[in-house]
């Protein structure tokens, strides 16, 4: 009788029963499959939804329909980068419409990073028990996803999750308080999703 392989990172998106949480701390991301959509955004072309994005939206719809919460918090240094204008609008609008709960923690110019949260530490936490660290190079290009099994690290990620959710403002509120972003969102064609 052979042992079945242990689940990998992608499997936990289906295996999680209660919640899936993502902390984002970088101000730009590369090597994540968004390049064609980012190029379209920068060129002023119509909203582009890549095949990978369509798969993500289907996953979010399916998981939230089963009662599994999909949550994400992004800590943003202001003024935001060109990449973040893309992510906050084209990236997050369809995610929110699909059921993902997105929170934003703005860091205004001259203000310090929230002391309760890490810098340059991105991760996924599944059901508060399974932790995957996202690894990026100095240019913020994704390199790897690595499971972290140390109980102390998992407990720290739980504390960071709690702090992030407490400090975050809902995505809609952040967008509504920034007219330039609200205008981009209002021009989005949700029929394409």
Nearest to 178, CA basis, from 70, 75, 117, 88: 88
The counts of H helices and E strands in the chain are: 8, 7
Helix runs in the chain, H state only? 9-15, 35-42, 51-65, 82-86, 92-98, 151-167, 171-176, 179-186
CA distances to 50, 114, 187 from 107, rounded to whole Å, are 30, 8, 26
Residue 145 has pLDDT above 60, yes or no: yes
Residue 193 has pLDDT above 60, yes or no: no
Task: Give dist(CA 74, CA 169) in Å, integer.
Answer: 10
90-141 pLDDT, tens digit per residue, is: 999 999 999 999 999 999 999 999 999 999 999 999 999 999 999 999 999 9
For the chain, domain boundaries: 9-192
163-192 pLDDT, tens digit per residue, is: 999 999 999 999 999 999 999 999 865 444
Task: Give dist(CA 110, CA 10) in Å, integer.
Answer: 38
Task: Give dist(CA 27, CA 140) in Å, integer.
Answer: 8
pLDDT the model gives residue 6: 62
Task: Give dist(CA 55, CA 22) in Å, integer.
Answer: 17
- What pTM does this model have? 0.92
Nearest to 10, CA basis, from 53, 50, 59: 59
Residue 3 has pLDDT above 50, yes or no: no
Q: What is the largest CA-CA distance in the chain?
A: 61
- CB within 8 A of 48, min separation 6: which ones? 36, 37, 40, 41, 90
The CATH code belonging to domain 9-192 is 3.30.870.10
């Amino acid at each position: 009788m052979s042992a079945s392989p242990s689940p990998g990172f992608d499997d936990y998106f289906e295996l999680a029963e209660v919640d899936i949480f993502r902390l984002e701390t970088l101000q730009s991301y590369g090597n994540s499959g968004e390049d064609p959509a980012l190029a379209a955004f920068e060129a002023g072309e119509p909203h582009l939804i890549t095949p990978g994005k369509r798969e993500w939206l289907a996953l979010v719809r399916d998981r939230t329909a089963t009662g599994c919460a999909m949550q994400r918090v992004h800590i943003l240094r202001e003024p935001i980068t060109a990449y973040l204008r893309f992510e906050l609008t084209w990236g997050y609008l369809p995610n929110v419409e699909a059921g993902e709960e997105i929170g934003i923690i703005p860091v205004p110019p001259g203000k310090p990073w929230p002391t309760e949260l890490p810098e340059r530490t991105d991760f996924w936490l599944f059901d508060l028990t399974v932790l995957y660290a996202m690894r990026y190079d100095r240019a913020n290009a994704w390199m790897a996803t690595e499971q972290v099994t140390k109980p102390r690290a998992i407990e720290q990620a739980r504390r960071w999750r709690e702090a992030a959710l407490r400090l975050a403002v809902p995505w809609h509120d952040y967008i509504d308080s920034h007219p330039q972003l609200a205008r981009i969102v209002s021009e989005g064609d949700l029929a394409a999703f």
